[in-house]
Amino acid sequence: MERFVISVLVANHSGVLSRVSGMFTRRGFNIDTLTVGETESPEFSRITISTHCDRGICNQIVKQLEKMYDVKTVKVMKQDQTVVRELLLIKINNVADKRQDIMSVVDVFRAKITDYSPEALVIEIRGESSKINAFIELLEPYGIMEMCRTGLVALERGGSCLKDA
């Protein structure tokens, strides 16, 4: 199985996301991450879905999505031709004798402290999933209080656009 990132341009109105995610549920397909947002045109939303499956299942997902009334465009993003990012907000215990070690990790990963209190640090980092995973792993010994991670966002490199596909 491999990871596929699927971009879906849909009509921006009530119920569309529910129908798209419901199709995955009915067919027994798993969604690893799901990100949705309005596009440059307010009448459309872009849904970015990542899933692990084989190529045949991915093709089946695309065909099912293309049949849906509110779906304008579906595209499987090619890994080498796509910019993919994710955002993580992570809250770490702010312990005085560990603070310098935490700051070193933050600096190496080019992360940013977005909130500082006597009890906790909130750190923001963005990047590819592998970078986010490595960052989390290095901060685990310092006491992760909580974290919130977005799904993937992806845009094709160069001049082509999803709306033109």
Q: How far apart are CA 53 and CA 58, in angstroms?
A: 7
Instruction: Report whether 17 contacts 36 (CB < 8 A).
Output: yes
Range of the domain at 55: 2-77
Q: Which of 62, 77, 92 is the last residue of a domain?
A: 77
Q: Tokens at residue 162, please?
A: 């999803």
Residue 107 Cα distances to 96, 104, 147, 154, 160, angstroms: 17, 5, 19, 25, 35
Q: Can you state the angle between helices 99-108 and 129-139, rounded to 10 degrees?
A: 170
Convert the pLDDT of each residue in 69-128 to its tens digit. Answer: 999 999 999 989 999 999 999 999 999 999 999 999 999 999 999 999 999 999 999 999
Q: How far apart are CA 55 and CA 4, in angstroms?
A: 9
Residue 47 in any domain: the answer is: yes
| CATH code, domain with 125 | 3.30.70.1150
Same domain, 18 and 65: yes
Convert the pLDDT of each residue in 124-141 to its tens digit. Answer: 999 999 999 999 999 999
This prediction has a pTM of 0.87
